[in-house]
Homo-oligomer: A and B are copies of this chain.
Amino acid sequence: MAKDQLDTQGVSRRKMMIGTGILAAGTALSQFGGLLKPAQAKGGPTEKWPWPYVKLDPRTTAEICYNEWYRVFCGCAVINSVFSQLRKKVGEPYTSFPIDSFVFLEGGQMGWGTICGSPAGANIVANTIIGPRIAGSPDGHHISADIMQWYSEASMPVFTPKKPRINPAKIVKTTSESPLCHISVGKWMKKSGLSLKSKERKDRCARVAASTAYRLVELLNTWHAGTYEPTSDFSAPSEHGITGQFNCMDCHGDDVPEPPMSTS
């Protein structure tokens, strides 16, 4: 199978681009280098992409997300802020998507501090609407990478709701330089001096979710309008030979290991 062959040959994206001259529309990146031809995904009736989308208002979406955080927490609030509107404006297939199943994204998945639920939820939304990169368009993949980088670099929380539950002056802003919950929340707790259980930390996270929903809808609207261009310029697998973030020294200090570069 062509995809598999490309993948296991480890052909670099650069080499492929030289080989083909120009990227064909509708191609997608294979895992960590290489190109795939559009593949018809095997699957159910909802596995035909893109799902119907209508332009949404970022501010309205963020307000919904802020309030939903207090019901279902970060990841699920981001998903529901978009899908609840599309259920009303479009209907199926959004109606049958089990949004509330994603409460577990909270706290970097059940409190384990891995990926913050806000980008995790945004990635689910982008890839559910636009589809996976193996099925015709890499834009869901690219929007997700954009969200990861934007989240890491933003002074969070960006968004202030109309009716804040906590005085905005009490919510300090921090830049996580990482999409991980542990690091994002940890840096905020360090600067604020406030605990995980504080009302301020909870409202900060509700606003981070709302900020992410706002940015997500901005990107989806440009994609829907046909004007979306990927902005993320980061790929750890290409640049560093391992999956990862750009903040190597946050954990490794000055002793950043060199990954093996065998091509067997």
- Residues of B within 8 Å of A21, CB to CB, are none
Are B262 and A112 in contact (CB-based, < 8 A)?
no
Are B128 and A101 in contact (CB-based, < 8 A)?
yes
Are A179 and B112 in contact (CB-based, < 8 A)?
yes
- How many monomers of this chain does the complex have? 2
Are B193 and A131 in contact (CB-based, < 8 A)?
no
Q: What distance in Å separates the Cβ of A104 from its nearest Cβ neighbour in chain B?
A: 5
Say yes or no: is A196 at the interface (Cβ < 8 Å to chain B). Answer: yes
Cα of A242 to Cα of B119 in the assembled complex, Å:
19
Are A242 and B32 in contact (CB-based, < 8 A)?
no
- Residues of B within 8 Å of A20, CB to CB, are none
Q: What distance in Å separates the Cβ of A220 from its nearest Cβ neighbour in chain B?
A: 14
Between A133, A179, A190, A243, the greatest number of chain B beta carbons within 10 A of the residue's beta carbon is seen for A243
Are B194 and A260 in contact (CB-based, < 8 A)?
yes
B interface footprint on A105-142 (CB within 8 Å = 1, 0 otherwise):
01111111111000110011011100111110000110
Are A127 and B101 in contact (CB-based, < 8 A)?
yes
Say yes or no: is A163 at the interface (Cβ < 8 Å to chain B). Answer: no
Q: What distance in Å separates the Cβ of A139 from its nearest Cβ neighbour in chain B?
A: 12
- Residues of B within 8 Å of A112, CB to CB, are 115, 145, 148, 179, 236, 243-245
A→B interface (CB under 8 Å)? 3-4, 7-8, 10, 31-33, 41, 43-47, 49, 70-73, 76, 87, 93-104, 106-115, 119-120, 123-124, 126-128, 131-135, 140-141, 144-145, 148, 179-182, 185-186, 189-190, 192-200, 202, 235-237, 241-245, 250-251, 253, 257, 259-264
